[in-house]
Amino acid sequence: MDEFQFPKIHSFPPMYTKQPNSTILQNQLDSWSDLILSYCQYYKITRLSLTGSILYSQHEDLNVDKLPPLFDNTYINRSVNDEFKSSIFQHMIHKLHVADYLNSKRPEAGIFIYWRSLSEWGNIIYDYVEKTGQLGSVLTIYELTKSEDSILNDSLKNLDYELLERVLKKVLVKQGKAQVLMNEEGTQIGGVKIV
């Protein structure tokens, strides 16, 4: 897989320091948000820690340590400090709504990056189930995202469980389209019935 090509702004030194002027700061935060979204979409990253390390990528054979770092630029010898990272994430969560805490009570658990909105994910799942004629039958989560012999939709392949759970609960169940079943241990969603 080719490396993500950072836009020129990633090599622009002032990007790495929090700008005092509020208008410029807003622009800076927007630029960072765009950059993070396209980076995560490129590598199919759905979860980041608060320090920007990758918590989950849909690419199974992605070597996370070898990816070009998001918040560091060795060529210009700059990196974003944790405080500014937090401001960027706050901006993404509260202003742009393109990210959200995994657990709002425990923000340190990390954040989801919504390069695809929850309802878009919901539509993808629903379309897949409808197209494969599986509306109304119970599907296991494994079947939906991991199984090698079901005709998998590329978008769903190896989908982050945490994200899937959120999509199911916040979108499909709310719309009255889905009902979830817990696994045997009762700890996670084990299956779903979509109608």
Partner 1 sequence: MLCRAGVATLMETFYGYTKALYMYQKTLLTSVGDQVLSEGLSSILLGQISGKSNSFRMGQQTSAPKLTAQDRAIFQLKQQRDKLKIYQRKLSGIMERQNKLAMESIKNQELERARFYLRSKKQQQNTINKTYDSLENLEKLISTIEFKLIEKDVMYGLQQGNEVLKRLNKEMSVEKMDKLLDECEEEKIKVEDISDMLGMGSGLSRSEEDEVEEEMLALEHEAGITDNKQAQPKVSFPDAPSKVPETDEREEELEEEAPRLTSNNPLPA
Interaction site with partner 1 (CB under 8 A) = 137-140, 142-143, 147-148, 173, 176-179, 181, 183-184, 190-191, 193, 195
Please give the Cα distance from 19 to 114 (Å, whole number).
Answer: 25
Between 81 and 175, name the residue whose CB sits nearer to partner 1.
Answer: 175
d(CA 116, CA 55): 17
Quote the least distance from Cβ 178 to partner 1, whole Å: 7
Nearest to 61 by CA among 153, 150, 158, 152: 158
Name the minimum Å distance from CB 131 to partner 1. 18
Question: Between 67 and 173, whose beta carbon lies closer to partner 1?
Answer: 173
Rounded to the nearest whole angstrom, what is the least distance from the CB of residue 170 to partner 1 in the complex? Answer: 13
- Residue 57's contacts (CB-CB under 8 Å, 6 or more residues apart) are 43, 44, 45, 46, 64
Residue 171: name the closest of 124, 139, 129 by CA: 124
Shortest distance (Å) from residue 19 CB to partner 1: 47
41 vs 179, beta carbon nearer partner 1? 179
